[in-house]
Structure 1
Amino acid sequence: MARTFALVAAAAAFFGHAQSQCTAAPSQTYDYIVIGSGAGGLVIADKLSESGASVLLLEKGPLSSGKWNGTMKASWLQNTNLTRFDVPGLFNQIWVDSAGVACDDTGVMAGCVLGGGVAVNSALYWKPHSSDWDVNFPTGWKSTDMQKHVDNVFQRIPSNYIPSKDGKLYLQQGFDRVTKGLDTAGFKYVVANDAPNEKNRTYAHATFYIQNGERHGPLRSYLETAMARPKFNLWVNTGARRVVRTGGHITGVELECKNNAGRSGTVNVTPGTGRVIVSAGTMGSAKLLFRSGIGPTDQLNVVKSSPIDGSTMISQDQWINLPVGNNLNDHVGTDIQISHPDIVFYDFYGAWGSPIKADTDAYLQKRSGILAQVAPNLGPIFWTAHNGSDGITRHIQWQARIEGRTKTAMTITQYLGMGTTSRGRADITPQLNMRVATNPYLRTTQDKEAVIAGLDYVRSALNNVQGLTWITPTSSQTTTAFVNSIPATPASRGSNHWTGTCTIGSDDGRTGGKAVVDLDTKVYGTDNLFVVDASIFPGMTTGNPSGAIFAVAERAAERILALKAPAPKLIRGATRDM
């Protein structure tokens, strides 16, 4: 108990909880500055601080979890240490009330609070399929390289498919009806994280990083151990405008005070040996590089011409031309809806402002009941794989949830993932907002073939369920016509599992390759700037990517710590600051 109190007290000090206005960054320098406190940033900041180095973690958003002094909560959570981010049953509230939570500069949904996406997503959590590494990633990042990191992640953050502390699963009628059809079609039930490679014709309960009825994840593991170290610091409400660099050497980070409560000015790394790690997410990391003069010339010219950064942007002779923003990827989402008279809908949206007292009592007193389950009652999750005419196997994760057009409806989303060949592009506007410039959905014939084949297969399986009726597609509509009727846009197809804008690889993007970072996650053309988050993924994962991102951050920390400090040299014709 005393240890917990000490951590909370330390959190208040680190977060500058009493700040009510912007304050200037101190003159102290740091061995590592990590930009972004999401899935990548939290993990790598902890692993770097574990080495004894001084680490500063920057988050441009406010506090989230009650564990770390967050304050955003429903009225029935007053006088508790819980916020909206801690209670699984309040997850869906993000879609109707995202003010002060969602990023306002990305063009797509992203979390801009402490924890980033892991504070606002559904907390679904899977061990990666070996093909996620072996098909997608380069040498040094294959499944044999990654297994120890996956094992460590799942030891630090256990997975759980029965989130309620009383050991019960609630309102499982939808799960039961759908799996009857899957059973008849020959699907096999698995405990998903006991069998990570069994992702074809299998199904499972939804699996989460929820412990003791509350959202867990890196906020309740990696951040806790980092916060206990004296040389670790965290600043919230503090954005990174750009890195400060001469040629390829970064000396610090220029800050943007947010919410009238963060830090401003410039914070510097340890002279000669300090490093900066960008972990701001697929959109945010690309934006930071653009504003720092790193990216395609057309995008850097947008920044140069902008009224915000134009007059202070790094000079054009020091630009580093890399394919930042290319290779944009996302799970291709296709929603189908079914109905069955046995399905029971629960109003999770109503649980915010007018909850059922018996349910809030069960949750507050015992961390049990329906509110310990993630809204809107997810499951089953199931998987199929389809061999394309191009010889590529494409993996699909199917995610069912109890919501739709009627009170007896279920929506099942098909996520086309690992093996997809379609890619898009993200770019930056003159207002310095990120956007999806080229949609990454179904741009190749074989990707669309997999979507159609997968839907045909599942439609056939679910037709075996007595009493089940189809809402979309209608029973008389062909799958091809249904797929073609849905626009290939983020609004209609998006899953918010964005990856790829700062791709890892050995093919240097400055000389015609596709990679933005090398095999140590270091940005090509620099000696001490790294990117560690989903933006470096070359291809899409089989399912929700959180588990893979955590493991990537652990692997990146290992490789970065093994690197020698940069030696004085000329980079791109510019003398390095020392």
Structure 2
Amino acid sequence: MTSPAEFDYIIVGGGSAGAIVANRLSADPKLRVLLLEAGPADRDSDWTVRMPAAMGINFERAKYNYLYNSEPEPYLNGRQVFHPRGKILGGSSSINGMCYTRGNPNDYERWVSEGAAGWSYADVLPYFKRLESFEGGDDLYRGRSGPVKVRNGPLSFSSYNTFLAAGEQAGYPRTADINGPQQEGFGLFDRNTDDGIRASTSWAYLRPVRGRKNLSIITEATADKVLVEEGRARGVAYIQRGLRKEARARREVILSAGAFNSPQILLRSGIGPGEALRKAGIALVHELPGVGRNLQDHLEFYLCWTCPPAASLNPRLTKLSKALIGLRWMLTRKGLGESNHDEAVAFVRSEAALGYPDTEMQFMPFQTATGYVPQPSPAGFSIAICHQRPKSRGQVEIPSADPLAAPHITFNYLSTEFDRQKAITCVRIARNIVAQRAFDGVRGEELRPGPDTTSDEAVLEFCRNTGTSGFHPSGTCRMGPKENAQSVVDSDGRLQGVEGLRVIDASVFPSVTTGNTNVPVMMVAEKLADAILGRKLDPLKAPFAGRLGNVQLSVAKAQPAV
């Protein structure tokens, strides 16, 4: 056997975080960087990856997707919940909905209160700005020259404007920029697209630097374990085309495999809760109780109504119509093919007394039960709604040391009375919006949950039977101080108790952010890449609406109680 290749840094996972870290570290030509990705490269010719409107295709096929399912969820009547995760360069940013949401500024104040020192809004705002190139908004809050192109949706259906008008009629504010100083309110949804093409982290960060001689990218390489010797990470063992291989790291191993796969790799490496490792038949290398714990997600509910054909995408989904949409996109990068069809959003409070929005509503001009695969059907529209600060917590475990075995994922959705009451409130908020006069002439029959579902008990049962993932798993290798037994990494992503090992992805979130999580993952990657290189952008103090403990709202009208 030949000696393993040596690198300064080995990054496991070429997804939303790993692609960014690979770009930033390899910018120093003196550093030799290896990026390992379990999936294939994202070929420029693959329209299913590049076309924004085609996102549903790769949500449901194994070529670029792990296609995970949860264990039977005990509080969802034993249902298993589907969890797509990207297995391709760019990771989930190559298959997701491209909903570009930073989260609420209060999320990062909360992270500090949960033990993540140095992660306040002032600390993270410069990194949000650095990663994006946005065509509008205030220069204090938005970036203009970053790798990721960001655009508003064109509001391609009149029903988007109907939704925005209904929000104002219900007493909610409008916001000019959900990623600016005021997330709260009804407004346009940003999306990461580049002249009609999905702007994944592979497109934005890897494609421009693939010619760097000091950056090696190995695809179709499934990481087995981190090689730990005398308390230090020395390399990675991985499987490629059935062969076991190793690579050695002179400086660090960096896990950027996501909230499911990073804890799996740690557990297979013998790092985690001792009892769980013994059950899986794995020798304990380092006891770390928090690995795989603290799992969080947003549980989403889809309400659907019929509507006139002109207000809906569904009638445009015949084979002929889709072919014409695809042809126009391929020739011009314009038309319905350039949209993710998720162009209007609202962040609102479930209770008027709250100082921050805790509920997200996305308007979709098509009927759907899942939110990502609209089908030819009678014209309709949907509202996807979810509470953003759940108290339910789950875990990721492994059945054995087999690197190809799927993890055991349990979220325990709706396990707390708090979350159950918030689920009921979500349904009532969505119905209240559609009941506004702006929807007169647009609103048809309520299909889901249906007009007979009125009592709290019936609404909760609808939520148990239909609630699905918001695709925002996080928290399984949480940041925090060493004194907290559940902390897995410190505030610079360094593993507690093992030298030369770092985690950079959504698993380090102490708590899930308010909104879609892909952009916070990008920010974490930018910030922790700087930490590795011994750099730091200066904090940027910018006012924002709503402060925990000291409510200061910059909106004209407070939101009504529900």
What TM-score, normalized by structure 1, do the two folds share?
A: 0.79
1:466 aligns to 2:455 (yes or no): no
Cross-structure match for 2:47:
83
Offset of 1:416 from its aligned partner?
Answer: 1.6
Cross-structure match for 2:137:
none
Deviations 1:239-282, CA, capped at 9 Å, x for gaps: 11001112421111111114x6xx74111112xxx100000011
Cross-structure match for 1:498:
473
SS in 2 for 1:33: strand
Offset of 1:355 from its aligned partner?
Answer: 5.3
Quick one: which of 271, 283, 298 aligns to 1:331?
298
Cross-structure match for 2:245:
265
1:426 aligns to 2:396 (yes or no): yes
Quick one: which of 510, 521, 525 aligns to 1:549?
521
Aligned partners of 2:507, 2:313: CA distance in 1, in Å? Answer: 36
Aligned partners of 1:119, 1:63: CA distance in 2, in Å? Answer: 11
Offset of 1:487 from its aligned partner?
Answer: 5.8
Change (3 A) 1:394 1:362: closer
Change (3 A) 1:356 1:84: closer
The letter of the residue matching 1:470 is E
1:365 aligns to 2:331 (yes or no): yes
Offset of 1:158 from its aligned partner?
Answer: 2.7
Offset of 1:474 from its aligned partner?
Answer: 2.5
Aligned partners of 2:188, 2:324: CA distance in 1, in Å? Answer: 25
Offset of 1:387 from its aligned partner?
Answer: 4.2
SS in 1 for 2:345: strand
Offset of 1:456 from its aligned partner?
Answer: 2.1
CA contact (8 A) 1:209 1:217 kept: yes
**Match runs of 1:167-566 below 5 Å:** 169-170=155-156, 172-193=157-178, 195-200=179-184, 202-258=185-241, 264-270=244-250, 274-304=251-281, 315-316=283-284, 318-341=285-308, 342-346=310-314, 356-374=322-340, 377-387=341-351, 395-404=358-367, 406-417=377-388, 419-430=389-400, 433-435=405-407, 437-464=409-436, 465-467=439-441, 468=443, 469-478=445-454, 480-486=456-462, 488=464, 492-508=467-483, 513-562=485-534
* Structure 2 runs not aligned, ≥5 long: 71-82, 133-145, 369-376, 536-562
Offset of 1:106 from its aligned partner?
Answer: 6.6
Change (3 A) 1:388 1:519: farther
1:103 aligns to 2:73 (yes or no): no
Offset of 1:32 from its aligned partner?
Answer: 0.4
Offset of 1:482 from its aligned partner?
Answer: 4.0
Aligned partners of 1:247, 1:461: CA distance in 2, in Å? Answer: 60
Offset of 1:105 from its aligned partner?
Answer: 6.2
How many residues align? The count is: 491
The letter of the residue matching 1:148 is P
Offset of 1:494 from its aligned partner?
Answer: 1.3
CA contact (8 A) 1:136 1:540 kept: no
SS in 2 for 1:56: strand
CA contact (8 A) 1:106 1:283 kept: no
CA contact (8 A) 2:366 2:380 kept: yes
Quick one: which of 43, 54, 63 aligns to 2:32?
54
Aligned partners of 1:357, 1:106: CA distance in 2, in Å? Answer: 32
SS in 2 for 1:224: helix
CA contact (8 A) 1:64 1:114 kept: yes
CA contact (8 A) 2:164 2:187 kept: no
Cross-structure match for 2:149:
158
Quick one: which of 113, 117, 121 aligns to 1:139?
117
SS in 2 for 1:559: helix
CA contact (8 A) 2:298 2:387 kept: yes
CA contact (8 A) 1:190 1:204 kept: yes
The letter of the residue matching 2:481 is S
Offset of 1:46 from its aligned partner?
Answer: 1.3
Aligned partners of 2:522, 2:452: CA distance in 1, in Å? Answer: 44
Say which is worse superposed, 247-256 or 25-34, in terms of deviation: 25-34
The letter of the residue matching 1:101 is Y
Change (3 A) 1:479 1:256: farther
* Structure 1 runs not aligned, ≥5 long: 1-23, 67-80, 163-167, 305-312, 564-578
Aligned partners of 2:492, 2:102: CA distance in 1, in Å? Answer: 23
Cross-structure match for 2:371:
none
Aligned partners of 1:184, 1:388: CA distance in 2, in Å? Answer: 16
Aligned partners of 2:316, 2:516: CA distance in 1, in Å? Answer: 22
SS in 2 for 1:198: coil
Deviations 1:515-553, CA, capped at 9 Å, x for gaps: 111111111110110000001111111111111111111
CA contact (8 A) 1:126 1:544 kept: yes
SS in 2 for 1:459: helix
Offset of 1:118 from its aligned partner?
Answer: 0.4
